[in-house]
Structure 1
Amino acid sequence: MELLHHYTTSTYHTLRSDAVQRTVWQMSVCEVGFSHEFVLRGILAIAALHLAHLRPSRKEFYIARGMMHHQLGLRMATGLLPAMNEENCTPLCVFAALAVMFAMASPRTPEDFLLVNDKGLADWMILMRGMNSILDSSEPNLFAGPLGLMFQSGHRRFQLRSSEPFMLGSPHDDQVLLLQQRILDSCVDPERGNAYMGALAEVRKSLTVLFAYAETYEGSDAFIWVFRTPEEYFVLLREQDQSALCIFAFFCVSLHRLSGHWWAHGWSIHLMSQIYRLVDEEHRWWIQWPIDQIGGLRALQDFS
């Protein structure tokens, strides 16, 4: 009861910047949770981590509660993926969004790479990518469901993200295209090249939305990259491939815009510090622009 009360009076307000979206997350998302236990578990989990953030003296207690609720919800949601239908597609999407924020709000280790770990993709990544192949066919149900306005808004932003005329002339484009040329010049494996270019194209779109809508930029604008990027790229990222790390550095610029949210705070600099440590001297020059965008080398030194 404490966790649910905290979510409906405080946590919901920290999950989105837009006032209308906040109301959806306060009211409609809870209503979905009352009929789908895994969503309710996700709500309680993120509320627990928010309380851990606000009450350091009881931090371990709330983290333990949050982990318990998240793992139970994740198990239920993952089990439903093969049977995704018009009844559970909206709840699954809501839980996936909560899972992303939970992953970012969870205590991190110095080696935490957010998207991948020593076993492969992170659990929340597996959930999100597992939904990708079914989401297109579920759009009518999502739009007509209890969170229809939220999904329609996201769909409009996605269409804009994919509009080539919208992308032309964006201030980051010269830097993205320079990285693209450097990667192409150094890559001799066509399969790797396709993975790099697929990932970089999606990062470019995320950055375009970031610079066009900086004041209303949301986590969904950044993490749609996870849905659209080829699986092969994440294999290369897990292997700490130099070009894959450079592309990830550009993605960190998108994450940096989310730093004002308690659940995302510090991630861009944390990840950039790891990337800078892992790349060689030549590739450090390749990522000078994203480093500058998050505060420069001084920010990385102060963080470490």
Structure 2
Amino acid sequence: MTVCEIGFSNEFVLRGILAIAALHLAGLRPRRKDFYISRGIMHHELGLRRATSLLPYMDKENCTPLCIFAALAGIFAMARPRTQEDFLLVNDKGLANWMVLMRGMSSIIGSAEPTLFSGPLGLMFQNGHRRFQLRSLEPSMDSSVHGEEVKLLQQRILSSCVDPRLIEAYIGALTELHMSLNVLYTYAETYEASDAFIWVFRTPEAYFVLLKNQDPGALCIFAFFCVLLHQLGAHWWAKGWSTHLMDQIYRLLDDEHRCWVQWPIKQIGGMRILEAL
């Protein structure tokens, strides 16, 4: 069974597919761009509404369709036209809608693993599980360049942190970030979108509250996440996101904290890339 076949039995999945297809057509047919974008947003919002309503009642019948839609929603969030202030993961109200869905799925997906692995897309979910296991191969702060940079960032953030209640959020986000970077630099040739977005699932929600509030430490961590996004730039729906987010982060930081994000800036092309925006 394919994702499209599942869509024919689950309208919200079909709408998720149509939403992304519409945005792809908007790029291919610029004369009708506005039409395709409006249709894409319509399909996405209707699908999201239905999927969100089913989330508290996930069972063996709908867990696979819900997981598929969550992935489609993430792609749609990156493929849709972005505003200058678009921060992808959070907005002025808190977590972006697609993030609420994806994190909601991740919080209960463990109990559904047997059903997912034996279901119609079992091989896909088993591969995703294997990708997740790659994160545990090098769990400590190692002597790699990226490991040293994450360690340095952690030292800077913790030494300047005046509220001890924030330390857990910082360390949680940084630990997951380091594991994600390990996967990126160890398995670059087979890097997948899921390798980047596992960080979104695993990072404590308290961190995203800090990000929403434009906390400097949280922004610096987010700058390192842009390195993960940059590796996805070959996908039409991810193109330009790493530089877009880095540009916003850099504008929000003061001179001291801008020094903290020089390494991720270099990884996505250097200051000349930001200056060209």
Tell me the TM-score normalised to structure 1 length.
0.89
* Aligned: 1:224 with 2:198: yes
Give, as a single letter, the amino acid of the residue that structure 1 aligns with 2:88.
L
2:122 to 148, 153, 176: 148
Structure 1 segment 1-304 matched on structure 2, within 5 A:
28-164=2-138, 168-303=142-277
Offset from partner CA, 1:10-40 (integer Å, 9 cap, x none): xxxxxxxxxxxxxxxxx61111111111000
- The CA distance in 2 between the partners of 1:99 and 1:261, in whole Å, is 15
How far is 1:160 from its partner? 1.4
How far is 1:168 from its partner? 3.9
How far is 1:293 from its partner? 0.4
Give aligned-pair identity as a percent. Answer: 74
Q: 1:5 corresponds to which residue?
A: none
Q: Is the 8 A contact 2:142 2:148 kept in 1?
A: no
- The CA distance in 1 between the partners of 2:43 and 2:107, in whole Å, is 27
Distance change >3 Å, CA 172–CA 75, structure 1 → 2: same
Q: Helix, strand or coil for the counterpart of 2:84?
A: coil
How far is 1:163 from its partner? 2.7
Give 5+ residue unaligned stretches, structure 1: 1-26
How far is 1:171 from its partner? 3.5
Q: Is the 8 A contact 1:111 1:274 kept in 2?
A: yes
- The CA distance in 2 between the partners of 1:191 and 1:37, in whole Å, is 43
Q: Is the 8 A contact 2:6 2:13 kept in 1?
A: yes
Tell me the TM-score normalised to structure 2 length.
0.97
Q: Is the 8 A contact 2:138 2:182 kept in 1?
A: no
- The CA distance in 2 between the partners of 1:272 and 1:283, in whole Å, is 13
Offset from partner CA, 1:84-125 (integer Å, 9 cap, x none): 111111111100110001000000000000000011110100
Number of residue pairs matched by the alignment: 277
Give 5+ residue unaligned stretches, structure 2: none
Q: 1:3 corresponds to which residue?
A: none
- The CA distance in 2 between the partners of 1:169 and 1:30, in whole Å, is 45
